Structure 1
C-alpha cells in the first residue's frame, strides 16, 4: 500500500503491522495529536476484532518505580499512581 492510499486508520494499521509504535511516534508520522493517535488505535483494535490479527499493547511504565499496572493501557497517564512520578513511558502498540 502506498503512503497516500487508504484512510489514516488503514495506514496506521499497516504501520503497526510493520513495527511497534508509541502514540507520539504515530502522531508525528501522521501529523495528528497523540490523543487522536490513541483514538485511531482503539478503532483499529475494534476493526481487527474477529480476524486472525491481534493488537498487542506494551503498557506505560513508570521510570522511577517500575509500576506498569495502569487501569487503561491505551492511555497516556500523566503521573504514576504509586510514586506520583511524572516520568512515565508511553504505551507501544503492534499488530500481530
Structure 2
C-alpha cells in the first residue's frame, strides 16, 4: 500500500511499530497537533490485536519528584498531581 493511500491512523501505527515515540514527536512527523495525535492513538490502541501485537505505553513522569502513577496514560498531563510541577515528560508509545 502506498503511503498516500494509508490513513493517518495507519501511518501512526506504522511509525510506532518502527520505534517508540511521544505525541510531540508524532505531531511533528505527521504535521498534526499533539491533541489530534492523542485522539488518533486512542483509536490505534483499540485496533491493535492483542494476540499478535500490543500497544505499550511508557507512562509520563514528573522530572521534579519522579511521580509516574498517572490515571490516564493516553493523556498529556499539564502538571504533576503530587508536587504540582509542570515539568512532566510526555508518555511514549510503541507497538510490539
TM range (shorter): over 0.9
TM-score in terms of structure 2 length = 0.94
RMSD over aligned Cα atoms: 1.2
2:12 aligns with: 12
1:60 aligns with: 60
Deviation at 1:51, TM superposition (A): 4.2
**CA distance in structure 2 between the partners assigned to 1:50 and 1:78 by the alignment:** 30
**CA distance in structure 2 between the partners assigned to 1:33 and 1:59 by the alignment:** 20
Deviation at 1:28, TM superposition (A): 0.6
Deviation at 1:43, TM superposition (A): 0.4
Moved over 6 A (4+): none
Is the aligned partner of 1:93 residue 2:93? yes
